[in-house]
Each structure stands twice: as C-alpha cells, then as structure tokens.
Homo-oligomer: A and B are copies of this chain.
Amino acid sequence: MASRPARRPAASAARAQLNPVDGLAQLSFVIQRMLERRAAEHDLSIAQTRLLGVLRDRKPTMNELARLLDLDKSSTTGLVDRAERRGLVARVPSTTDRRAVLVSLTDSGRSLVSQASARFEADVLTMLGLLPPRDREALSRLVSRLLVTHAADQGIDLFTSVNAEDC
C-alpha cells in the first residue's frame, strides 16, 4: 500500500516524521526502484536478476531453483529458457539422476549480475551516505537486528537457511 501520504497535520515539515509503517513501506519501494533501474540498464528484469543472483553461489536443479525463487516449476522453466536464450545461464544434465538438470551461470551471466550488483550497491551506499555516520551505523544495526529477529520468528536462521538468502 505504502499507503496514504502520512499527510501530517501541517506545519514543521523539517521535523515531521512518517509513521513507522509508511516509512518502511516507502523505503522498500525506493530500494526496489533502485534495483529495478540498475537491472534495466543491463536489460534485466527483477525476476531475471533474482535468478542470476541465486545462481551466483549455487548450481541447483530446476526443482531446487523453483524452491529458492518461490516459483512454480513451470514458471522456472520459462525464466531459465529466456535466460538461456540470452546465454546467461546453461542447463547441464545431472550425472546422478537422469531426469534432473542443473542450472548454472555462464561467464556472461556472472559478469552481468556482478555489474548490476555493483551499481545497485553503490546506489544504496550513496543513499546511506546522506546520513551522518552515527545514524548510518545505528540504522544498519537496527535493520540487521530486525531481520534476524523476524527471521527467527518465522523459524528461519538467517545465516544458515537457504531461503533467507538472495531475497
């Protein structure tokens, strides 16, 4: 929703504060837009970017990939088809199960995702750089704490689980 404007009563905009929900919602849109913009520079959609991101340190089967991306396996087939057509990923038959295929990043795909990543990271760091160092550090610490707590609440160990990674 990132819903209505948090249309503050009036007056001192300089010190006004968004309500917590609107703040987090808006922040999520700002960050997604940064990601989208940088991905688009390389003709990547968010979906393609997620795919490449997940493959940076894995070589999963289609099935595992579908679980990692939280998509239906048929959607994953299509996603991989289009990436493969562009030479960004490759399908490799599994040696242990003749039904299965492994999906892996090509050099070209790896290079593309690295470039987009780097630009995106720079965007976020630039935005963070607008805050005084003390605020910046505090924010990072709190965001991290929130994510870890939230993940734990969902029964996920952020630092071990495969699901919490790569979005």
Chain A residues in contact with chain B, CB under 8 A?
1-8, 13, 16-21, 23-32, 35, 49-50, 53, 56-57, 113, 116-117, 120-121, 124-125, 127-128, 130-131, 135-136, 138-150, 153, 157-160, 164-167
Q: A17-B144, A145-B135, A146-B127 are in contact. Are A167 and B49 (CB under 8 A)?
A: no
A116 to nearest B CB, angstroms?
7
Q: A131-B149, A143-B27, A146-B130 are in contact. Are A2 and B166 (CB under 8 A)?
A: yes
- Given contacts A18-B148, A21-B121, could you give 17 more A-B pairs where the C-beta distance is less than 8 Å? A4-B165, A5-B57, A5-B159, A18-B143, A21-B120, A24-B31, A25-B124, A25-B167, A127-B150, A128-B146, A130-B146, A130-B149, A131-B142, A131-B146, A135-B145, A138-B138, A139-B146
Complex: A61 Cα to B131 Cα, angstroms: 38
A-B contact pairs, 12 of them (CB 8 A): A1-B35, A1-B49, A2-B35, A3-B53, A18-B143, A18-B148, A20-B143, A21-B121, A23-B143, A23-B144, A135-B145, A142-B142
Q: A25-B31, A139-B139, A167-B26 are in contact. Are A18 and B144 (CB under 8 A)?
A: yes
- A127 neighbours in B (Cβ, 8 Å): 146, 150, 153
Q: Which residue of B lies closest to A130 (CB)?
A: B149
Report copies per complex. 2
Residue in B1, B13, B32, B148 whose CB lies within 8 Å of A53? B1
